A and B are shown apart, each in its own frame.
Chain A
Amino acid sequence: MLQHAILVLLLPLASAAIIALFLRRAGGAAAGLATAVAAAIAAIAIILAIHGEPFSASMEWLRLGDFSLSLGIKFDDLAALMLCIVGIVGLCVHVFSLGYMHDDPCRGRYFGGLSIFMFSMIGIVLADNLFMMFIFWELVGFSSYTLINHFHEKQSAADAAKKAFIVNRVGDFGFLLGIVACYWLNGTVNLTELGDKHVFSTMIPLLLFCGAVGKSAQLPLHVWLPDAMEGPTPVSALIHAATMVAAGIYMLCRINVLMTPDALTVIMWVGTATALYAALCAITQRDIKKVLAYSTLSQLGYMVAAFGLGSTHAEEAGAAVLAAGVGAAMFHLTTHAFFKALMFLGSGSVIHGCHHEQDIFKMGGLKAKMPLTFITFTIGVLAIIGMPFLAGFFSKDAILHLALENNHAVFAVLGFTVILTAFYMVRLWILVFLGTPRSEESAHAHEGGWSMTLPLVLLAVLSVLAGYTSLYGHLFDGVWSLIPHEEGLLIPLIGDALMLVGLTAAWVLYKPAADDALAQKSPGLFGALGALKASFDKLYDYYVAKVQQRFAMLLNFLEQVILSGLIVRGGAGLAGLFGLGARAAHVGSLHAYVYWFLAGVALLWAYAAGVF
């Protein structure tokens, strides 16, 4: 099994290397190779999951005195589940990309980027220690950067890529500090060893959580994710919806043993706030991908909140309830990965069909033009808003159940978010698919080829079925057994009632809409929501422009004068002079050399004798 795990890790690396070295100009071959590798990854992931036995192995990578770093694999049900998600969604996205990116001149670079992403993501999933996880964490950030930047000749794409990378670096700095602190206090960063014995400290999990805040785009580092939609749509589906952004939640579940009640409370509130904030922002968006991006943010907030909700109980009952957070978070991560990837790919299909029109107010009436996309997208929408018997219903109920048990304030916020979720998703759905075409592009929309519809169908099936944990047989029991189960019908009833409120509101407001009905009927509310959305960017821009930039100017001045002027240039001049001198001393005559030699000997003797 270890060989399988190593294979699944190294296959995409090999694919990326081959594409980078030989297939940069052969887009078709690169696409074929990357897709074949993605299929192999999905197959091996499922084989590994079916075998199911946890194992771990590691090799020493670097040793310096007592300090050692190792590379290793820790495979258990949690890793198996994540690996399967990455494998299946990855395969769907690769296949979808075959059609979606067919006419792109830089297909080689695109598929190479996807391969390097798969490699990095699988590295995070399999890593058995925090250092290794950090290495792949950064690699994931790098591949995300290259893929957002795929249309690099577009200024907005280049800016978005830079923004994503820099914002993530802020979080990663905290992550790195957390790893160092963890090593400092515990003497190890190996996940298994940490599970056996570790020092209780609130600082470590909170610092590590900073990494998750960056990667999973939680408040206040969420600003990069909406902009990341500049990347090709399949990339948004794979990286910025289903897998990479979920890496933060996965990492939290990996380090759950380190958590303390205080840390979990913080995590819970960050998640809850993100869920509400992003849902509010989603209401005003006009870009189909931006709506989905904010919905992703909101759902990630749900997962983080779910993880944190395991907490409040930990004070009383200990580790068993802490695990409930892991179960609920991973459950929602799984269902969300499928229905969000489905909707992103669906939006890709819509965008492709409408000749790269992304404004939902210029769409409409696509139900008839793109029936398959319509049906599958509808399933995705129903799943995310929590329609009974679809995947999202079960996982969201698990979270709401946890919230109701542990913290009523959080329950209220998350419940309100359910209304908002139903509202903005149905709004999107109505505007895109119902009514009549509102632009030339949408009037001539058409369905994509098989490579674009097949992944949609597969993901739609998964979005229906993924919530029934009994369907998995005994696979992933280690995770599913942690999901909290409620008694009675209270939670489903509340959840559905809230969802229906949002759904009806959207239906009433947007059924006849040709322009943004909310903006017309309640401009004040609409404006406030827009300002809320912009507030973080404005705040950061202010900070960068007014505080950081001025400080940097000051440093730059000092640097120019003292460092660059005096020390570097002066030092370089001195060094250059000395170098010329040394060269001049080197006359090439053996006699001169012997004198130098003897002078050196005399000097050393004098020194050894203590003359100076």
Chain B
Amino acid sequence: MNIDYSLFFRAMQPESLLIEAALAIIILDLTVMRRKDLSARLNVASLVGALAVALAAVLALRNGAMGEILNGVLNLDTLAVATRVGVLGLTLLVLGIGTGGARIRNPAEYVVIVLCAAVGFMLMASAQQLLLVFLALELASLSLYVLAGFDKSRPESAEAGLKYFLFGGMAAAFLLFGFSLLYGLTGTLDLPGMSVVMAATGFHPMLAVAMVMILVGFGYKAAAAPFHLWAPDAYQGAPAPAAAFIASASKLAGFVLFTRLLWGSASQGQMLGATPGWVPVVWLLAGASMLVGNLAALAQSNVRRLLAYSAIAHAGALLLGVIASGRSGPGPLFFYLTTYGIATAGAFGVFHVLENQGGAQKLKDLAGLHRRSPLLAGCLMVFILSLAGVPPLSGFFGKFAVFAAALSPAGLGSPTGWLAVFAIAMSAVGLYYYLLILKEALVRPAAAGATAVKVPAAAALTLVAAAGLTLIFGMFPSLLLRWF
């Protein structure tokens, strides 16, 4: 086994850069910024972090698709590069909306942990060996647990962090169990090697057990029903930027990893996805998620919980995209993930700004937003309509591409096609609760005594950029789709 370390180091440039930036931020915070006030420390840390993230994205783009690294432990194909850039972009978004709120007590650590999570996501995007898959997943997950509980001034935040952590621990146990069963069955940790062995030995009943355990683990990560129960509590309690991160970048990396695990990369042919039995299980997860997510969202009065249930519903549609990407390639799924991530992170960003100025937990706290801050109201409208899938916003094309990919192989001749029809019907239900948010924000008059909202410059810039991207990707979907 000879390993080309120079290639490896070059491939890992973006990840290394983020780790170095994280260390630099800690050092900076402990030395120069020590006596400064909290918001200055947060701004400096965010700025350094954002610069590092932007640079890392440039490096990732410049390196391009390098193919297999370290004898196939990592596979930097087009999907991996796209996902890395997507994750970095969403990280930038999260850092951007996080500025301006001085409520976090340890701002430097917050940025550092965001960067660590980003490194985990990026590894998830390219990992092709079960050991690295698990390590990357846990690096990301542990960072997210901490982020969810980061706001020490609010008990809900601690509750969110703890629930997320305990639930996540159990899911991780299932996932690890599933992985070890796979290892036991095939004798290898490499995904391509595993499919070779499985093709040779044929189906084993134990494989079904392992598959379900892995699906449970990913179902938890994706917040798919019936493993979604942590999501509403975590989304509600976590600081808004953390919730945005959990909903956007984590979903993107998780689903890409899941797709790679099941379908492999384009060059290697089918992998686990070829085993019988798993597609029906994913149907079940997808259908249940869309049903539970959309219907339970109808009864919510808390915006964060509403977005959590909307995330569950979207997870169902995304699982449909996972099934479809076996045939049509990961393009539609990636488009959906990216645009959904931008829109949902943007919506959390709007809520974050509002919360910093007196709380926006209930739907009716949004009343009169169009008068209090036309900018926020406008951005929120773009994000929510995109989530609802209204053309010409990008959410529409994400849904359209995924449903078209699900319907194109066999039309209504397969359950996948019927599931797509179900998803379309459920999107109509979704429109109702999305419009509830907009009704509060755009139609209702402001409550007496409501004041104008001051939007910090960095957050405003980020939100406008996110809304602009949502619009641009909607009008020119080929910008993203042509990567694949």
Interface residues of A (CB under 8 A from B): 60-65, 575-576, 578-580, 582-583, 586, 588, 590, 593-594, 596-597, 599-601, 603-605, 607-609
Contact = CB atoms under 8 A, between A and B. Distances in A.
B284 interface: yes
A60 B292 CA distance: 38
Given A597-B226, A597-B227, A604-B215, A590 B167 contact: yes
Contacts of A580: 299
A449 B299 CA distance: 64
Contacts of B114: none
A601 B216 contact: yes
Nearest to A67: B404
B167 A607 contact: no
Contacts of A583: 296, 299-300
B369 interface: no
A607 B299 contact: no
Interface stretch (B5-13, B193-201, B204-212): B204-212
Q: Which 5 A-B pairs have the closest CB atoms?
A: A600-B226, A582-B296, A579-B299, A579-B298, A593-B229
Contacts of A582: 292, 295-296, 299
A60 B296 contact: no
A579 B401 contact: no
B233 A601 contact: no
A178 B404 CA distance: 24
B299 A60 contact: no
Contact of A64 (B285, B292, B401, B475): B401
Interface in B453-484: 475-478, 481-482
B298 A608 contact: no
B281 interface: yes
B227 A608 contact: no
Interface string B28-51: 000000000000000000000000
B284 A604 contact: yes
Interface string B169-185: 01000100000000000
B229 A597 contact: yes
Given A586-B229, A590-B167, A600 B299 contact: no
A601 B284 contact: no
Interface in B253-300: 277-278, 280-281, 284-285, 291-292, 294-300
B122 to A, nearest CB: 28
Contacts of B170: 594, 597
A608 B230 contact: no
B408 interface: yes
B482 A60 contact: yes
B163 A600 contact: no
A580 B300 CA distance: 9
A571 to B, nearest CB: 9
Contact of A62 (B167, B295, B477): B477
Contacts of A609: 208
A550 to B, nearest CB: 29
Given A593-B229, A599-B226, A608 B477 contact: no
A566 B326 CA distance: 39
Contacts of B300: 583
Contact of B211 (A575, A593, A597, A608): A608
A608 B208 contact: yes
Contacts of B166: 590
Nearest to A584: B299
Contacts of A63: 477-478, 481-482
Contacts of A578: 291, 295-296
B161 to A, nearest CB: 12
- Most chain B CB within 10 A, of A61, A597, A601, is at A597
Given A582-B292, A583-B299, A604-B212, 16 more contacts: A62-B477, A63-B478, A64-B404, A575-B295, A579-B295, A593-B230, A594-B167, A594-B170, A599-B226, A601-B213, A603-B226, A605-B209, A608-B208, A608-B212, A608-B277, A609-B208
B62 to A, nearest CB: 24
Contacts of B482: 60, 63
Interface of B: 163, 166-167, 170, 174, 208-209, 211-213, 215-216, 219-220, 225-227, 229-230, 232-233, 277-278, 280-281, 284-285, 291-292, 294-300, 328, 397, 400-401, 404, 408, 429, 475-478, 481-482
Contact of A605 (B212, B294, B295, B328): B212
Contacts of A579: 295-299
Contacts of B297: 579
Contacts of A586: 229, 232, 296
Contact of B280 (A60, A600, A601, A608): A608
Nearest to B481: A63
B212 A601 contact: yes
Contacts of A61: 475-476, 478
A594 to B, nearest CB: 7
B182 to A, nearest CB: 15
Contacts of B476: 61-62
Nearest to B475: A61
Nearest to A583: B299
A575 B309 CA distance: 14
B471 to A, nearest CB: 13
A131 to B, nearest CB: 14
A599 B219 CA distance: 14
Nearest to B433: A579
Nearest to B230: A593
B135 to A, nearest CB: 24
Nearest to A68: B478
A55 B365 CA distance: 56
Contact of B226 (A576, A590, A596, A608): A596
A583 B285 CA distance: 19
Contacts of B280: 607-608
Contacts of B209: 605, 608
- In this complex, the member of B212, B219, B404 whose beta carbon has the largest number of chain A beta carbons within 10 angstroms is B212
B216 A604 contact: yes
Contacts of A604: 212, 215-216, 281, 284-285
B473 to A, nearest CB: 11
A63 B477 CA distance: 8
Nearest to A609: B208
Nearest to A604: B212
Contacts of A596: 226, 229
B299 A576 contact: yes
* Among A576, A588, A590, residue most surrounded by chain B Cβ atoms (within 10 Å): A590
Contact of A597 (B167, B277, B400): B167
A17 to B, nearest CB: 13
Interface centre among B229, B300, B397 (most CB of A within 10 A): B229
